[in-house]
Amino acid sequence: MATPVIVPELGETMNEATIVRWLKNEGDIVKKGDALLEIQTDKAVLEVESFASGTLLKILAQAGETLPVLQVIAFIGEPGEKLPEVPKAPPPPAAPSRSVPEMPATAAEAPVPQAAPAPPVQRRFTISPRAKMLAKERGIDPTKIAATGPDGRVIERDVVAYLERKGYDSLLISPTARRLAADLNIDVLDLKGTGPAGKIVKADVLRAEREKPRPLSQTRKIIASKMVKSAREIPYFLVTLSVDMTELAALRERLNKERTQRISYNDFIVKACAFALRSFPIVNAVCLGESYRVNESIHIGVAVDIEDGLIAPVIRDADRKSLDQIAGESAQLVEKAKNKKLRPDEFQGATFTISNMGMLGVESFTAIIPPDQAAILAVGSVTDSVVVHDGKPVVRKIMKITLSSDHRILDGATSARFLNEVKRKLEDPTWAG
Phi and psi of 384, rounded to 5°? -75, 120
CB 107 within 8 A of CB 37: no
Nearest alpha carbon to residue 323 among 380, 257, 381, 255:
255
Handedness of CA 241, 282, 303, 329 (dihedral sign): positive
Burial of 177 (0-12, 13-18, 19+ CB in 10 A): buried
CB 318 within 8 A of CB 326: yes
- Catalytic (active-site) positions: 407
Q: What is the DSSP letter of 290?
A: S
Handedness of CA 132, 136, 139, 141 (dihedral sign): positive
Query: Who contacts 160 (Cβ-Cβ below 8 Å, separation ≥6)?
Result: 134
Residues composing the chain: 433
- Neighbouring-strand partners of residue 304: 311
Q: In this structure, which amino acid lies at residue 427?
A: E
Phi and psi of 285, rounded to 5°? -110, 180
- In this structure, are strands 375-389 and 352-356 parallel, antiparallel, or unpaired? parallel
Cα separation, 58 vs 69, whole angstroms: 19
Cα separation, 344 vs 13, whole angstroms: 11
**Residue by residue, what is the 3-state secondary structure of 156-191?**
HHHHHHHHHHCCHHHCCECHHHHHHHHHCCCCHHHC
